[in-house]
Amino acid sequence: MIDFDPSSFGLAHTYQKEDKDEINTLALPSAPQVIYKSLNGPTQINGGNKLNNFKHGTTTLGFVFKEGILLAVDSRASMGSFLSSEQVRKVIEINEYLLGTMAGGAADCQYWLAYLANHCRTYELKNGSKLSVAAASKFLQGILIGYRNSGLSMGCMIAGTDTTGQHLYYIDNDGMRLKGDIFSVGSGSTYAYGVLDNHYKYEMSLNEAVELGIRAIYHATHRDTASGGVVRVYHIHQNGWTKVHDGIDVVDLHYQFAQQKGLVGDGDEAKQRLF
Amino acid sequence: MDSIFGLQGGDFVIVACDGSIAHSILKIKETEDKILKLDDHKIFGISGEGADRNSFGELVHKNHSLIRYKTGAYMNLKETAHFVRSMYAQAIRSRDGPHQCNGLLGGVDSDGTPSLYWLDYLGSLQKITRGAQGYANYFLLGLLDNQYKPNLTKEEGIEIIKKCIKELQTRFLIAQNKFIVKIVTKQGIEAFTL
């Protein structure tokens, strides 16, 4: 850093290195100061901690295929047995080349993904090039490690495109970051995995991938009470992301898929006779 | 639930790990590489919950590189093992507690001598010729003790590792399908999945 003293002309002198700048060891990234820690300790499994009793009712999924990455999510938010919304946006548009999915606490996901968006933009301005997906997801992981025992609840996927291609990362509130090809997060994820694992092929075309994403979310919403609403589908490719479907009602999908099999969709496939 | 196990032979060291990451009843990933490459002749297999394994691994890797840049010299295996042990030990009574992960550090020095070290989360360090971390201990130590002999060749070492994997797949309750195996010799590191 060059320091100019405008009152005198002379050779510019470089910034004096102070002893305290010398790096002795590299430490774990320091978390932003945690001023308020949750009063009742870390979240317990069955919602023992009332302050952080978030419901993880959701199904989100993402997978990598030859044309990029497909993200598909449901849109239901439930508070216990009360449906608070059927139109939640669970894919968060971080910037034109990065998307994040939301599972767990909505506030946590929205806030920290917005924080990440801020960081990405600052980096881009300071360094003249975009932050890679690996670096962006690592930054988020560093934050979540710092807040590990504070009761954050997030199970998000970061998906995006950079100069090395399209990448998908799974990050959760324990500070785990995994790179992978197929992820599904939320209470309905097990049902979605069943459909995904069965039909997934890397060589799928975009239409096949969109169909698979929609079907997997539909099946999860059918069996999981905490997932439902509409299906939203995003596609990430080398030029950024596109919103493929903004909201397809899963109830309509139910009857459509039933019809394709020659069924009516009233749930009476076993043809139960009452007498 | 991670299985990490390893073996030291006449002129090589093998460290193998299972590839699965689990979250409650789900197996989120099957191909996770839990063996960190510290440099061209050292590997460090880490067993522990996701975040600790990841973050401690990064800490070791970056500080190991920092020492090289500061001093201009590469540490040998013994120095690295003691260095990693001191990182574990410093954390034991720290604010965040011990790093919740165990490890197997293996490699070959520039003169060709292989060594394998067993490290645990409280800072225990032991130089061994064969060993494992986690539940794999229960299933594999008997087999490793039985099959080990001094100055194993690389092919014999790989055969023993294959027997270990078969044993885990037969007897361990948790299905572990994919294993990642890394072998360090004087020529460098070879990695493959089994």
Dump pLDDT digits (tens) for B40-86.
999 999 999 878 899 999 999 999 999 999 999 889 999 999 999 99
* CA atoms of A155 and A142, how far apart (whole Å): 15
CA distance B122 to chain A (A): 18
| pLDDT of the residue at A45 | 42
Bridge partner list, A92? A100
- Give the residue-averaged pLDDT of A18-38: 55
Find out whether B83 and B75 touch, Cβ atoms under 8 Å.
yes
B140 near A CB under 8 A: no
User: Apex CA A144: angle with CA A243 and CA A89, to 5°?
Assistant: 25
* CA atoms of A187 and A189, how far apart (whole Å): 6
| pLDDT of the residue at A150 | 86
> Could you give the 3-state DSSP secondary structure of residue B28?
strand
DSSP secondary structure letter of residue A33: P
**For B71, which residue in chain A has the nearest alpha carbon?**
A24
Find out whether B82 and B64 touch, Cβ atoms under 8 Å.
no
Share of chain A above pLDDT 90, in %: 65
* Residue type (1 letter), A177: R
At B39, list the tokens: 């440099």
Task: Give the length of chain B.
Answer: 194
Find out whether A200 and A62 touch, Cβ atoms under 8 Å.
no
Average pLDDT, chain A: 84
Which are the contacts of A96, defined by CB distance < 8 A and separation ≥ 6? A240, A241
B162 by Cβ neighbours in 10 Å (0-12 / 13-18 / 19+) ranks as: middle
**For B50, which residue in chain A has the nearest alpha carbon?**
A176
At residue A263, does pLDDT exceed 60? yes
Bridge partner list, B37? B43
* CA atoms of A62 and B30, how far apart (whole Å): 16
- Give the residue-averaged pLDDT of A170-178: 93
- Cross-chain residue pair A176–B49, CB shorter than 8 Å: yes
Output the DSSP codes for B132-176: EETTHHHHHHHHHHHH--SS--HHHHHHHHHHHHHHHHHH-SS--
Lowest mean pLDDT among A75-84, A204-213, B125-134: A75-84
At B125, list the tokens: 């360090």
* Residue type (1 letter), A155: G
DSSP secondary structure letter of residue A153: -
- Cross-chain residue pair B59–A28, CB shorter than 8 Å: yes
Which are the contacts of B97, defined by CB distance < 8 A and separation ≥ 6? B91
| pLDDT of the residue at A230 | 96
- Cross-chain residue pair A178–B59, CB shorter than 8 Å: no
| pLDDT of the residue at A35 | 43
Mutate to test the interface with A, among B23, B34, B101 (most CBs of A within 10 A): B23
Find out whether B191 and B182 touch, Cβ atoms under 8 Å.
yes
Sign of the alpha-carbon dihedral angle for A174, A193, A211, A266: negative
Question: To the nearest 5 percent, what fractions of chain A are helix, strand and coil?
Answer: 30, 25, 45
- Cross-chain residue pair A178–B49, CB shorter than 8 Å: no
> Could you give the 3-state DSSP secondary structure of residue A120?
helix
B128 near A CB under 8 A: no
Interface of B with A in 159-188 (CB under 8 A): none
- Cross-chain residue pair B55–A175, CB shorter than 8 Å: yes
In chain B the first and final C-alpha atoms are separated, in Å, by: 19
**For A174, which residue in chain B has the nearest alpha carbon?**
B51
Radius of gyration of chain B (CA): 16
* CA atoms of A223 and A191, how far apart (whole Å): 7
Between the alpha carbon of residue A77 and those of residues A90, A189, B97, the distances in Å are 10, 15, 36
Average pLDDT, chain B: 93
Helix (H) or strand (E) segment spanning residue B78? helix B77-91
* CA atoms of B56 and A26, how far apart (whole Å): 12
Task: Give the length of chain A.
Answer: 275
| pLDDT band, very low/low/confident/very high, at A28 (cuts 50, 70, 90) | low
Residue A60 is among the residues annotated as catalytic for this protein: no
CA distance B76 to chain A (A): 19
CA distance A171 to chain B (A): 10
A13 by Cβ neighbours in 10 Å (0-12 / 13-18 / 19+) ranks as: exposed
At residue B189, does pLDDT exceed 90? yes
- Cross-chain residue pair A26–B49, CB shorter than 8 Å: no
| pLDDT of the residue at A14 | 52
- Give the residue-averaged pLDDT of B76-99: 93
* CA atoms of A21 and A83, how far apart (whole Å): 54
Which are the contacts of B108, defined by CB distance < 8 A and separation ≥ 6? B11, B12, B13, B41, B77, B114, B115, B184, B185, B186
